[in-house]
Amino acid sequence: MMRHTTMKNNSLHQGAQKIRAITLSPKEKAAVLARLLEHVAQHPARIVSPWRVYVSQFRFEVAMATVLVMLVTGGSVASAAKGALPGDLLYPVKISVLEPAQGLFVTGDVPRAHWAALKTVRRLEEAETLAAQGRLNPSVIEAVKNNFEKSANEFNAIVESAQTGGSSEQIVDASVDFEARVNAHAQILSAVGQGPGDSQTDDLSSLRNSVEENAHKAREQRASATARFLKRGEQEGYASSTESRRREASQTRSSEDDRTQALFDDRVHAIETMITSTEGRLHDATSSVSTTTSSVQEGILRNVPETLRAAEDALKEARQRQDSGDADKAYSALLDSESAAKQADTSLEQGLRWGKEKDKEKKENEDSKQRSGDRQRFEGGEGD
Amino acid sequence: MDSTIQEKQFTQLYAEESDSIFRFCYFRTSDRDVAIDLMQETFLRYWEVLLREGKKVENKRAFLFTIARHCIIDWYRKKKTLSLDALVGETDADVEVFMETTVSRKEIEMEHEARFLMEKIRDMDPLYQQVVYLNFVEGLAPKEIADIVGESSNTISVRIHRGIKQLRKLAGYDETHHHEK
């Protein structure tokens, strides 16, 4: 049977080779080239102004928005607004002018979903930066919560609308990414809430509850997007039965099998690389004594190994499912693993950033004390 | 860049890729004359877009296939203008799927193995035909095909995976099928 199959597969490859042998005759090729060169001679290449190309490609309104964004982003106000945090004077410029202007350029369900996800996560990162700097207060938290929910609802609406008639793999990927990041920030805010002796942590509860609620929603939405995507595959009629795939897996793999297996292996390898990289960075961070500067940071980093283990377990399950021929469950487990790996990566990234913010805050306090001491000494000296 | 150099590069690209673009157009239209016209149109558009408008692309081959795909869709839209009212406003992908069911085939001379495989690919689900052809016959990577058809690499990988399974089944090379017998 193996020899028979190999012969048949060779025939498929021979078929591909023979198709590649279909070519134009030299006469046809030369005739078309002559016509092309005639056209080229009549329409020589020339350098055109990039302005002309861009303006011709976009609608008038978008072009106007371009001008607006260029005017705004070209100035120092825009540069300052980009890094503004809630409570800063320029923060309203960031969320009411810059981000909506950027959003005008984002078209298509998948890019719009990614853009909404980015804004959602950005709101949480801003809150965490403020928390690390000790600058959170009830009114800022309320504003962050409202903006976070607005972007999260925007993401959910786009994903829901994109799934009409069946989910696409790109939407599934966007949902995995969103789920991973919102889960990570839910964990981080929980760690912030456990910080000792910090009055601002009590005020965080409403934001924390909202993020946890949205993390739960994101998990459900990803599961739903995956199920719809797989169902769409089944409706197309190409889902094989587990039994037949199991039999197939037990046979010698043909070159096509090797190729399709390679696609699965590629994704597995990408997740493994992400896990290994996060483990390495975590090890470097925790082995450095000076890196962990607070119990909150320790709390954030403590979650990372557990999340990585979840990613490894799901990856193991994906491999087992794939080997047993259950491609759909293998795919779902692969997404579980990818989500957990991304979550761990985000937690580590934010944990390390928290340390830097705390270091900055500590240094600023020390500088302030130093200045205050100098002033007292100076004033004391003057009095003598 | 000097226009003479650009013309030389263009001629070189034509020498290297005209056959594969012709084959792709033939595969999609089943008409040799139309395929030659579309191949010519593809290179004309390439000259217009890439050279006259000064755009830079890293993967010229994938870019040529992208243009060819649009030329084919445009050709089909024009050809079926009167009967395709229902397709007004539909996406390129919708047109491609519909096209598979309606083009008449004018076969050219080719060897038995080539004809057999081409027929089997054309018998596949429209969703998989193009990606399997580009991957299996023309040797394009999933990422390149993703750029050509405007989907994600993951989606294309899944389609290649499922498409090749289907192709083997249609060609009668399905191992499970033999075992069951």
Q: What pTM, to 2 d.p., does this model score?
A: 0.52
Q: A-B interface: how many C-beta pairs under 8 angstroms?
A: 162
Is the residue at B61 inside a domain? yes
What does the block give as tokens for B106? 């004018």
Tokens of A308: 């990585």
Neighbours of A375 (CB within 10 A): 10
Element (H, E) at A196: none
Give B49 or A20, the one with higher predicted confidence. Answer: A20
Within a domain: B102: no
Which of B97, B128, B160 marks a domain boundary?
Answer: B97
d(Cα B39, Cα B20) in Å, to the nearest integer? 9
Rounded Cα gap, residues A383 and B132, in angstroms: 89
**Which tokens sit at A247?**
């039999």
- Comparing CB atoms, the residue among A19, A45, A237 nearest residue B52 is A45
Examine the fold and report which residue of B33, B63, B97 is the final residue of a domain before the chain moves on: B97
Q: In terms of domains, do B86 and B11 share one?
A: yes
Number of domains in chain B: 2
Instruction: Look at residue B166 and tell me if it is in a domain.
Output: yes
- Within this chain, do residues B14 and B74 fall inside the same structural domain, yes or no? yes
Q: Is residue B105 part of a domain?
A: no
For residue B179, the distance in angstroms to the closest alpha carbon of chain A comes to: 9
| A302 min Cα distance to partner chain B (Å) | 32
User: How far is A349 from A128, CA to CA, in rounded Å?
Assistant: 12
Give the integer Cα–Cα distance in Å for A371 and A362: 14
3 state SS for B117-156: HHHHHHHCCHHHHHHHHHHHHCCCCHHHHHHHHCCCHHHH
* CA atoms of B57 and A310, how far apart (whole Å): 41
* Same domain (yes/no): B24, B77: yes
Same domain? For B130 and B60 the reply is no
Last residue of a domain, one of B97, B128, B163: B97
Q: Which residue has the higher pLDDT, B83 or A170?
A: A170
Q: Which residues contact A155 (CB under 8 A, 6 or more apart)?
A: A113, A116, A117, A120, A178
CA separation for the pair B65, B54 (Å, rounded): 19
Cβ contact, residue pair A24, B125, below 8 Å: no
Q: B2 and B74, same structural domain?
A: yes
> By residue range, what is the domain housing residue B75?
1-97
pLDDT score for A7? 47
Nearest-by-Cβ selection for B117 from A15, A43, A45: A15
Q: Are A158 and A115 in contact (CB under 8 A)?
A: no
**DSSP secondary structure, A302-357, as one string:** HHHHHHHHHHHHHHHHHHHHHHTT-HHHHHHHHHHHHHHHHHHHHHHHHHHHHHHH
Amino acid letter, A145: K
Looking at residue A369, its amino acid is K
Any domain includes B13: yes
Distance CA B88, CA B64 (A): 26
B49 and B124 housed in the same domain? no
Residues A102, A93: Cα–Cα separation, whole Å: 12
Sign of the CA dihedral with A160 first, then A162, A166, and A169 last: negative
Same domain, B126 and B37: no
In a domain, B28, yes or no: yes
pLDDT values of chain A reduced to their tens digit, one per residue, 384 residues: 444 444 456 677 888 888 998 888 888 888 888 888 888 777 665 444 333 334 344 444 444 454 455 444 555 566 667 778 888 888 888 888 778 877 777 777 888 888 899 999 999 988 888 888 888 888 888 888 999 999 999 999 998 888 776 667 788 888 998 999 999 999 888 888 666 555 666 678 888 889 999 999 998 888 888 888 777 665 554 344 444 444 554 554 555 566 566 667 777 877 887 888 788 888 877 776 454 567 778 888 888 999 999 999 999 999 898 888 887 888 889 899 999 998 998 888 888 877 666 666 666 666 666 666 666 665 555 444
Residues B48 and B69 in one domain: yes
Q: Are B13 and B68 members of one domain?
A: yes
- CB pair distance less than 8 Å for A45 and B152: no
**Co-location of B151 and B88 in the same domain:** no
| CB-CB neighbours of B96 under 10 Å | 19
List the one residue out of B160, B117, B121 whose CA is nearest residue B141: B160
Residue B31 lies in a domain: yes
Residue B158 resides in a domain: yes
* Same-domain status, B21 and B92: yes
Rounded to whole angstroms, how far apart are CA atoms A225 and A89? 40
The answer on B38 and B84 residing in a single domain is yes
Predicted pLDDT at A234: 56
Residues of B in contact with A260 (CB under 8 A): 160-161, 164-165
Give the CATH number of the domain where residue B52 resides. Answer: 1.10.1740
CATH of the domain at B136: 1.10.10.10
Q: What is the ipTM of this complex?
A: 0.81
Residue of B176, B177, B179, B181 best to disrupt the A interface, most CBs of A under 10 A: B176
